[in-house]
């Protein structure tokens, strides 16, 4: 048994090394002396603000729309449930560039929605709106799937007990189901935010401007090569880690203070 555990540990360790080694290599890249000038660059600062701001908005929208859908899928049995789940998974399996093309057919300048928005003075592409539309399409499945797993883990007997004690269905959801599902919800938020910060394919199709961090990295790479792109990549790496750590800490505080009663 110990030999089997050791073998499993070795295989898992190899994968962990494969995860960590490229990050360490990035941190020790010989272009590190250009990190500070890159951070102070106006384009990089603008890209950082755009990425963080749109990611927060996109994750918020995904939570507002995705958590109710996850609860519905978890607690309702209906004929077309597998089809709905297939639709939820679809953005995850589509190549990012294809996702961008699909969104352009719906929101692009030549589409009905695009023309209606333009007549109202709203740009659905080449704008912050375009970035958010792309991000929500790509990241919302993470919220729905992780939250559904969280809801599935809650024993429905606890909800029935809460209802029998006089709580309404809404009160039971807020006081019992949601707190017990918080671990899954926070996991979904972390995955969605990380994916949003790194989203490139669909975003660049919907909005080359304003630039997000991944788009800025690509522009730096094609104009100045790896040496120019890598410092910007480190900025994205560090900013993503910081935000995810903040979400994790906040999640621990929420789980500690938001206990069901």
- List the chain pLDDT tens, one digit each, 261 residues: 555 556 677 878 888 888 888 877 777 765 555 555 556 677 788 888 999 899 999 999 999 999 999 999 999 888 889 999 999 999 999 998 999 999 999 998 888 998 998 888 889 999 999 999 999 999 999 999 999 999 999 988 888 888 888 888 888 888 888 888 988 898 899 889 989 998 999 999 999 889 998 998 898 888 877 777 777 787 787 877 787 787 777 666 655 555 544
pLDDT confidence of residue 256: 57
Q: Tell me phi and psi for residue 196, to 5 degrees.
A: -65, -45
Angle at the Cα of 232 (from 228 to 236), degrees rounded to 5? 160
pLDDT at 56 (0 to 100): 93
User: Each residue of 179-211: b (16+ CB within 10 Å) or e?
Assistant: bbbbbbbbbbbbbbbbbbbbbbbbbbbbbeebb
What are the residues whose beta carbons fall under 8 Å from the beta carbon of 30, sequence distance 6 or more? 227
pLDDT of the residue at 32 = 52
Q: What is the pLDDT of residue 103?
A: 95
**The pLDDT of residue 261:** 47
Alpha carbon distance 140, 91 (integer Å): 9
The overall longest dimension of the chain from CA atoms, in Å, is: 69
Residue 56: what are its φ and ψ, rounded to 5°?
-60, -45
What is the model's pLDDT at position 39?
Answer: 62
Domains of the chain (ranges; CATH) run 42-257 (1.10.3720.10)
pLDDT number for residue 13 = 84
Cα angle, residue 81 at apex, residues 97 and 190 outer, rounded to 5°: 50
């Amino acid at each position: 048994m110990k030999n089997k555990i050791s073998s499993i540990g070795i295989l898992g360790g190899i994968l962990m090394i494969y995860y960590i080694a490229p990050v360490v290599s990035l941190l020790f890249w010989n272009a590190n002396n250009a990190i500070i000038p890159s951070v102070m660059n106006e384009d990089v600062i603008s890209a950082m603000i755009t990425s963080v701001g749109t990611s927060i908005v996109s994750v918020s929208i995904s939570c507002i729309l995705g958590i109710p859908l996850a609860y519905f899928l978890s607690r309702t049995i209906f004929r077309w449930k597998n089809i709905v789940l297939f639709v939820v998974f679809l953005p995850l399996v589509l190549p990012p560039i294809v996702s961008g093309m699909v969104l352009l057919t719906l929101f692009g300048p030549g589409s009905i929605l695009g023309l209606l928005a333009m007549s109202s003075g709203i740009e659905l592409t080449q704008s912050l709106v375009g970035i958010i539309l792309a991000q929500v399409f790509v990241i919302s499945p993470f919220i729905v799937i992780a939250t559904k797993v969280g809801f599935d883990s809650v024993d429905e007997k606890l909800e029935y007990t809460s209802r029998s004690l006089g709580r309404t269905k809404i009160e039971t959801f807020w006081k019992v189901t949601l707190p017990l599902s918080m671990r899954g919800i926070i996991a979904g938020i972390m995955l969605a935010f990380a994916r949003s910060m790194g989203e490139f394919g669909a975003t660049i199709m919907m909005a080359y401007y304003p630039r997000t961090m991944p788009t800025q990295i690509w522009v730096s790479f094609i104009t100045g090569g790896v040496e120019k792109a890598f410092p910007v990549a480190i900025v994205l790496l560090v900013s993503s880690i910081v935000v995810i750590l903040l979400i994790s800490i906040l999640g621990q505080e929420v789980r500690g203070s938001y206990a069901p009663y």
